[in-house]
């Protein structure tokens, strides 16, 4: 069987409207959390149509949980869930499989699962997740590459995280929902996806307070039940399109956004010279004639998102001076740099920073090493002279709903093609 590539011929102006899908990094936590509903059905509305959602559904099916996906609505019935060890291959295809640990521990008091995979962004330890589970009373061991988590009972505890982690915050919020007594999580992450997961848990009967602040307090409950939940829009997908609009847009509207989630990006685009009109749930963008160079430092929310530094990079080639990106969350998240060099992009990585010099990009064959590197290459392709062929598009399909179709509708010259496997 052949492999797919995405091809894009640069130089088109993009205009019209694009509708943002539900948030990937919320969906991948909401689906595992749903397995905790012992009675009734959890209905998740507005899910993104991405392969990570399918992988997580399949993991639920392995636990005898019924799932029914129609378009963007997923119904999950976990009344007859059975605890089973979860196989390595599926678990390793995405990072968020670690949320199965918190949810299974809460529901079954036991979980056997392979180590999570996900995008290669340098070291991605899960020590803070484990520290948290242990504080709740679980015994955690790693045997032959599988994690064993077992607890006689989960008991509320006070946990101060050593690093601010999205995953550890969500995982502990999930696990502590059904622990006995009160849990206090301190030095937690504040990303909007955390607030979204807390709201699902509360609608399922949990008592979680303070999500979105530095401290989350959870009063454990006996049991959770079904509910209907509408997911928040994907601020990283929205940001990716806003950057595409800033690079090549003329009256380019990004719809279904929560503008406050976009503030650090909006401010940076304005600093670059991009014209943005913000409405209640949309942004309209027109590219400027000239761009100013900027410095960007990634930070935890509400700072500039690490997930958007790779997509932003191609835009900086257009500035009339040298720009700098400093990555503080994943200092090794620079695997797109070599690919941009192949496109004649002058970019130098030094430690956790990259310097980006004014360059005219040229189409080339490039390889997506991870999801956001893939988005970076797509935007580079929109700007480049000639055709860019992006390989390893499976990374892109993990996180962006119909990206080729959406860009095509906006006027990009973009298509998928099958190539022979060798």
Q: State whether residue 209 is helix, strand or coil.
A: strand
Closest by CA to 89, choosing from 110, 114, 61, 107, is 114
Count of beta carbons in the 10 Å neighbourhood of residue 213: 12
Check binding of 21 to ligand EPU (CB under 6 A).
Answer: no
Q: Which of 32, 48, 156, 167 binds ligand EPU (CB under 6 A)?
A: 167
In angstroms, give the least distance from the CB of 9 to ligand EPU: 26
- The answer to whether 372 contacts ligand EPU (rule: CB under 6 A) is yes
Touching ligand EPU, residues 108-127 (CB under 6 A) = 119, 123-127
Decide: is 397 part of the binding site for ligand EPU (CB under 6 A): no
Cα 396 from chain centroid (whole Å): 11
**Contact with ligand EPU (CB under 6 A): which of 7, 129, 217, 391?**
129
Given the complex with ligand EPU, which of 118 and 226 has the nearer CB atom? Answer: 118
Query: Is 219 known as a binding-site position?
Result: no
Residue among 70, 72, 65 nearest 33 (CA)? 65
Q: How far is the CB of 128 from ligand EPU (least distance, A)?
A: 3
376 is catalytic: no
CB 173 within 8 Å of CB 132: no
Token pair of 61 as six digits: 């099916």
Q: Answer whether 149's CB lies under 8 Å from 101's CB.
A: yes
Please count the helices (runs of H) and the strands (runs of E) in the chain. Answer: 14, 23
Q: Does 168 bind ligand EPU (CB under 6 A)?
A: yes
Distance CA(80)–CA(245), nearest Å, equals 47
Shortest gap between Cβ of 127 and ligand EPU (angstroms)?
A: 5
The reply on whether position 86 binds ligand EPU by CB under 6 A is no
Q: Is 216 annotated as a binding residue?
A: no
95 belongs to an annotated ligand binding site: yes
SS3 category, 373 = helix
Site track 332-371 with ligand EPU (rule: CB under 6 A), x = hit: ---------------------------------------x
Q: What minimum distance in Å lies between the beta carbon of 339 and ligand EPU? A: 16
Helices within 109-178 (DSSP H only): 127-135, 166-176
125 is in an annotated binding site: yes
Longest dimension (CA), the chain: 64
Q: Record the tokens describing residue 345, joined without a space.
A: 């992009």
| Cα Rg of the chain (Å, integer) | 21
Question: 162 among the known binding-site residues?
Answer: no
Cβ-proximal residues to 55 (8 Å cutoff; 6+ apart), any chain: 90, 93, 94, 97
Considering only 16, 158, 163, 418, the residue that binds ligand EPU (CB under 6 A) is: 163
**Residues touching ligand EPU: how many (CB under 6 A)?**
26
Catalytic residues: 119
Name the site residues for ligand EPU (rule: CB under 6 A): 25, 28, 95-96, 119, 123-129, 163, 165-168, 189, 236, 306-307, 329-330, 371-372, 399
Query: Residues at the annotated binding site for phosphoenolpyruvate?
Result: 24-25
Query: Residues at the annotated binding site?
Result: 24-25, 95, 124-128, 307, 329
């Amino acid at each position: 069987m052949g492999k797919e590539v995405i091809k894009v011929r640069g130089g088109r102006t993009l205009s019209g409207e694009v509708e943002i899908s539900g948030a990937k990094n919320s969906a991948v936590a909401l689906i595992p959390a749903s397995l905790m509903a012992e009675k009734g059905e959890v209905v998740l509305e507005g899910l993104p149509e991405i392969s990570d959602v399918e992988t997580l559904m399949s993991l639920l099916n392995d636990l005898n949980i019924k799932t029914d996906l129609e378009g963007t609505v997923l119904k999950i019935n976990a009344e007859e869930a059975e605890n089973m060890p979860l196989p390595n291959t599926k678990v390793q295809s995405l990072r968020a499989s670690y949320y199965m640990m918190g949810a299974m521990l809460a529901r079954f008091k036991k979980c056997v699962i392979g180590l999570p995979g996900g995008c290669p962004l340098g070291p991605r330890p899960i020590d803070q997740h484990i520290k948290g589970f242990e504080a709740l009373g679980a015994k955690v061991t790693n045997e032959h590459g599988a994690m064993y988590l077992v607890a006689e009972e989960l008991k509320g505890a006070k946990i101060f995280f050593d690093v601010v982690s999205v995953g550890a915050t969500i995982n502990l919020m999930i696990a502590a929902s059904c622990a006995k007594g009160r849990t206090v999580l301190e030095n937690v992450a504040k990303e909007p996806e955390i607030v979204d997961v807390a709201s699902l848990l509360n609608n399922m009967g949990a008592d979680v307070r303070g999500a979105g602040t530095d401290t989350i307090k959870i009063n454990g409950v006996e049991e959770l039940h079904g509910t209907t939940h509408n997911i928040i829009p994907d601020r990283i997908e929205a940001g990716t399109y806003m950057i595409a609009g800033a690079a090549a847009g003329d009256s380019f509207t990004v719809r279904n956004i929560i503008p406050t989630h976009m503030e650090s990006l909006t401010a940076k685009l304005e600093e670059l010279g991009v014209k943005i009109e913000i409405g209640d749930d949309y942004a309209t963008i027109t590219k400027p004639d000239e761009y100013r160079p900027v410095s960007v430092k990634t930070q935890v929310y509400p700072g500039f998102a690490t997930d958007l530094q790779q997509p932003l990079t191609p835009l900086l080639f257009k500035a009339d001076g040298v720009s700098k990106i400093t990555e503080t969350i994943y200092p090794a998240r620079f695997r797109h740099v070599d690919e941009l060099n192949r496109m004649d992009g002058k970019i130098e990585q030094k430690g956790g920073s990259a310097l980006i010099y004014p360059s005219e990009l040229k189409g080339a064959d490039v390889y997506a090493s991870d999801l956001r590197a893939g988005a970076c290459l797509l935007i580079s392709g929109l700007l480049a002279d000639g055709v860019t062929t992006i390989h390893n598009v499976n990374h892109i399909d993990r996180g962006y709903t119909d990206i080729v179709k959406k860009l095509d509708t906006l006027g990009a010259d973009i298509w998928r093609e099958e190539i022979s496997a060798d």
